[in-house]
């Protein structure tokens, strides 16, 4: 079970070892927030590799430090600000060092960064990474540089990402950028712009390339993957204006899943994030039809109260969401489900909160990512609603939600005890070097004795015990001698 998401707390400095790179400039790249940001950092590393930068995981030896930032909650932004202050110390000792801010916070704060955080030299929004070489030239000349233009077309579809810090087993491939949904609490539509989809052929090619390099799992990424729509380019919102021929040959998310699943039949395929309002039965049937599409759906719900869902401008109510969960359980038996939930949205009553807990009881998610509401500047909620739930009430409701999820995660995991599950090994267990960890198709973490298994192996494991977060067991074969 996760009590928080992979969003704000994570950060990663990246090392890329290359041969014959003596004398090259060094880039230290740190990523915060969602998987999309980590994926974008791989695009940035690729663009800068062409400019003669190699990545390092030691900030003190870098010529350029870039922070790929997250704005989703206030805490995420505070973490980045603290980190920028730490780079102040390094910069004091190394005056030539340049520091840049990328991603959602760059888009939100813009030029104000130069006043607020004096040491920042460069501010680049998520759609402007191709401009990095020009912007770097500008800061080399001693000026500050900023580009936060959002694009209607940019999908970086021709750029081969440099895979950073991964395990060589699992990789991300982005399929859409931006979001048109305008959930009233969410800053993403402001920081990442309008929704656009990437050419499916370039997606299939990138996945095939990963398979050829030995990757065993790919996660297709978008803010709302179910609304993927390719009709020869263009924004999702302009689809109605496209020619009837373009409309007739459009590729939707279910079609894309079929294409990818067929192209790499022995590779595991995951996707994130699904939005309940856009998830069609065609997508569920595509998941059911292909053994290599993982039986797991991350299906954020945000609240169990229809009244709050309406205020959040989510495109579904409680009943529609539960009906979708029923269809998932019917069409994809044994499918793993996880949630995102927000406690303490403006106007949330104890009755609304009780409805959230009761929805959790109905679904019994395998795990979840849970937060208390954080007002974000410029969103509808910030402009029109009063952030009226006291912090201690938000925190108490969140604690109750987390506790409920912990119970459900334990129950879900207990149901696997005594069963054999297939695990894709990702690497050594954090707790013991004698154990490996990997995931089941349902995305549940499994830890088992290493024997001779390697990352990338598919292993049959008999589960003999569990915690709310992990299944533990023994592999059924001795491993490769
Ligand atoms: N569709 C996106 C959602 C991005 S934000 C995706 O791909 O994951 C991830 C989660 O952060 C949301 O589902 C929501 O639960 C949470 N979140 C977003 N804005 C928030 C806010 N203002 N306060 C608290 N949590 C928020
Ligand atoms: Fe945010 Fe809602 Fe889009 S949560 S990313 S506006 S689907």
- CA-closest candidate to residue 308, choices 221, 213, 185, 397: 185
**What is the position in ligand 2's atom list of the atom closest to the CA of 300?**
4
Let me know how long the chain is.
481
**What is the position in ligand 2's atom list of the atom closest to the CA of 223?**
5
Among the bound ligands, name the one nearest to the CA of residue 178.
Answer: 2
CA 186 – ligand 1 centroid, Å: 6
Give the separation between CA 76 and CA 382, rounded to whole angstroms: 17
CA 224 – ligand 2 centroid, Å: 7
The pLDDT score that the predictor gives to residue 16 is: 40
Q: Which of 2, 186, 272, 312 to probe ligand 1 with, by most ligand atoms within 8 A of CB?
A: 186
Give the separation between CA 446 and CA 454, rounded to whole angstroms: 14
Has residue 379 been placed in a domain? no
Q: Which residue's CA is the nearest one to ligand 2's atom 7?
A: 181
139: domain CATH number is 3.40.50.12160
User: Residue 186: CB within 6 Å of ligand 2?
Assistant: yes
CA 26 – ligand 2 centroid, Å: 35
User: Residue 301: CB within 6 Å of ligand 2?
Assistant: no
Has residue 127 been placed in a domain? yes
Give the separation between CA 271 and CA 178, rounded to whole angstroms: 16
Give the separation between CA 429 and CA 470, rounded to whole angstroms: 11
CA 2 – ligand 1 centroid, Å: 15
The pLDDT score that the predictor gives to residue 478 is: 55
Domain count, the chain: 2
CA 140 – ligand 2 centroid, Å: 37
Give the separation between CA 222 and CA 17, rounded to whole angstroms: 29
For 154-221, the DSSP string reads: ---TT--PPP-S--SSEEEEE-EES-----TT--HHHHH-S-EE--HHHHHHHHHHHHHTT--EEEEE
H/E run at residue 443: none
**Which whole number is the average pLDDT over 374-383?**
98
Query: Which tens digits make up the pLDDT trace of 455-475?
Result: 999 999 999 999 999 999 999
User: Residue 189: CB within 6 Å of ligand 2?
Assistant: yes
Alpha-carbon separation of residue 158 from 206, 271, 280 (angstroms): 9, 21, 29
Has residue 121 been placed in a domain? yes
Domain boundary among 98, 130, 147: 147
Alpha-carbon separation of residue 131 from 26, 150, 315, 466 (angstroms): 19, 12, 36, 49
User: Residue 231: CB within 6 Å of ligand 1?
Assistant: no
CA 468 – ligand 2 centroid, Å: 28
pLDDT value at 199 more than 90:
yes
The pLDDT score that the predictor gives to residue 235 is: 83
**Full-model pTM:** 0.93
pLDDT value at 20 more than 90:
no
User: Residue 188: CB within 6 Å of ligand 1?
Assistant: yes
Query: Which tens digits make up the pLDDT trace of 422-458?
Result: 999 999 999 999 999 999 999 999 999 999 999 999 9
Has residue 138 been placed in a domain? yes
pLDDT value at 412 more than 70:
yes
Q: Which of 181, 313, 345, 380 to probe ligand 2 with, by most ligand atoms within 8 A of CB?
A: 181
Give the separation between CA 11 and CA 83, rounded to whole angstroms: 10
Q: Which long-range contacts (CB under 8 A, 24 or more apart) does 80-85 make?
A: 80/32, 80/105, 81/117, 83/11, 83/30, 84/117, 84/119, 84/120, 85/117
- CA-closest candidate to residue 301, choices 316, 280, 279: 316
- CA-closest candidate to residue 456, choices 439, 468, 474: 439
Give the separation between CA 341 and CA 44, rounded to whole angstroms: 31
Give the separation between CA 469 and CA 445, rounded to whole angstroms: 7
Has residue 156 been placed in a domain? no
Has residue 226 been placed in a domain? no
- CA-closest candidate to residue 342, choices 185, 180, 191, 190: 185
Q: Which of 195, 340, 405 to probe ligand 1 with, by most ligand atoms within 8 A of CB?
A: 340
With pLDDT > 90 as the criterion, what percentage of the chain qualifies?
A: 85
Q: What is the mean pLDDT of the chain?
A: 93
Domain boundary among 147, 180, 200: 147
471: domain CATH number is 2.40.50.140
Query: Which tens digits make up the pLDDT trace of 44-66?
Result: 999 999 999 999 999 989 999 99
The pLDDT score that the predictor gives to residue 166 is: 81
Query: Minimum mean pLDDT among 7-16, 194-203, 228-237, 259-268: which range?
Result: 7-16
In this structure, what are the phi and psi dihedrals at residue 289, rounded to the nearest 5 degrees? -75, -25
User: Residue 37: CB within 6 Å of ligand 1?
Assistant: no
**Which whole number is the average pLDDT over 285-293?**
98
With pLDDT > 70 as the criterion, what percentage of the chain qualifies?
A: 94
pLDDT value at 12 more than 70:
no
Q: Which of 126, 182, 186, 190 to probe ligand 2 with, by most ligand atoms within 8 A of CB?
A: 186
User: Residue 73: CB within 6 Å of ligand 1?
Assistant: yes
Q: Which of 184, 190, 223 to probe ligand 2 with, by most ligand atoms within 8 A of CB?
A: 223
The pLDDT score that the predictor gives to residue 23 is: 62
Has residue 338 been placed in a domain? no
Give the separation between CA 129 and CA 447, rounded to whole angstroms: 39
Could you tell me which residues come within 8 angstroms of residue 184 by beta carbon, excluding any fewer than 6 positions away? Answer: 311, 312, 313, 379, 380, 381, 384, 385
Q: Which residue's CA is the nearest one to ligand 1's atom 1?
A: 223
Give the separation between CA 87 and CA 60, rounded to whole angstroms: 9
Query: Minimum mean pLDDT among 15-29, 188-202, 369-383: which range?
Result: 15-29
CB 5 within 8 A of CB 369: yes
User: Residue 179: CB within 6 Å of ligand 2?
Assistant: yes
> Domain range spanning residue 441?
420-475
User: Residue 302: CB within 6 Å of ligand 1?
Assistant: yes
- CA-closest candidate to residue 425, choices 459, 451, 393: 459
Query: Which tens digits make up the pLDDT trace of 68-121?
Result: 999 999 999 999 999 999 988 888 888 889 999 999 999 999 999 998 878 899
Has residue 234 been placed in a domain? no
User: Residue 132: CB within 6 Å of ligand 2?
Assistant: no
Domain boundary among 93, 124, 147: 147
């Amino acid at each position: 079970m996760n009590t928080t998401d992979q969003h704000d707390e994570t950060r990663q400095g990246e090392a890329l070892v290359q041969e014959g790179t003596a004398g090259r400039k060094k880039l230290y790249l740190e990523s915060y927030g969602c998987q999309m940001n980590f994926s974008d950092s791989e695009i940035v590393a690729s663009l800068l590799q062409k400019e003669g930068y190699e990545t390092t995981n030691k900030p003190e030896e870098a010529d350029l430090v870039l922070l790929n930032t997250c704005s989703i909650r206030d805490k995420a932004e505070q973490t980045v600000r603290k980190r920028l202050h730490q780079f102040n110390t390094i910069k004091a000792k190394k005056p030539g060092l340049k520091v840049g801010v990328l991603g959602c916070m760059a888009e939100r704060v813009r030029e104000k960064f130069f006043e607020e955080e004096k040491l920042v030299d460069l501010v680049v929004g998520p759609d402007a990474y191709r401009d990095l070489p020009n912007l770097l030239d500008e800061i080399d000349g001693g000026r500050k540089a900023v580009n936060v233009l959002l694009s209607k077309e940019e999908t970086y579809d021709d750029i081969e990402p440099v895979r950073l810090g991964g395990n060589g087993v699992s990789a991300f491939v982005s399929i859409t950028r931006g979001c048109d949904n305008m959930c009233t609490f969410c800053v993403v539509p402001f920081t990442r712009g309008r929704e656009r989809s990437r050419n499916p052929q370039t997606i299939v090619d990138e996945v095939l390339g990963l398979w050829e390099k030995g990757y065993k799992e790919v996660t297709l990424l978008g803010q709302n993957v179910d609304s993927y729509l390719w009709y020869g380019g263009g924004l999702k919102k302009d689809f109605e204006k496209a020619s009837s021929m373009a409309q007739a040959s459009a590729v939707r998310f279910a079609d894309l899943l079929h294409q990818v699943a067929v192209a790499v039949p022995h590779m595991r395929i995951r996707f994130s994030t699904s939005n309940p309002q856009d998830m069609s039965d065609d997508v569920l049937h595509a998941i059911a039809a292909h053994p290599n599409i993982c039986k797991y759906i991350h299906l954020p719900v945000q609240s169990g109260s229809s009244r709050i869902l309406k205020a959040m401008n989510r495109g579904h109510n409680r009943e529609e969401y539960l009906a979708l969960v029923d269809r998932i359980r019917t069409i994809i038996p044994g499918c793993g489900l996880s949630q995102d939930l927000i406690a303490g949205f403006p106007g949330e009553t104890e009755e609304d909160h009780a409805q959230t807990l009761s929805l959790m009881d109905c679904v019994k998610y395998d795990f979840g990512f849970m937060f208390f509401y954080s007002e974000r500047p410029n969103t509808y909620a910030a402009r029109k609603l009063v952030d009226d739930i006291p912090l201690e009430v938000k925190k108490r409701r969140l604690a109750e939600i987390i506790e409920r999820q912990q119970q459900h995660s334990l129950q879900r995991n207990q149901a696997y005890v005594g069963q054999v599950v297939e695990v894709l090994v990702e690497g050594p267990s954090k707790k013991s070097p004698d154990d490996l960890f990997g995931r089941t198709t349902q995305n549940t973490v499994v830890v088992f004795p290493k024997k001779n298994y390697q990352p990338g192996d598919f292993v049959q494991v008999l589960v003999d015990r569990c915690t709310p977060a992990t299944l533990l067991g023994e592999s059924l074969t001795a491993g490769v001698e």
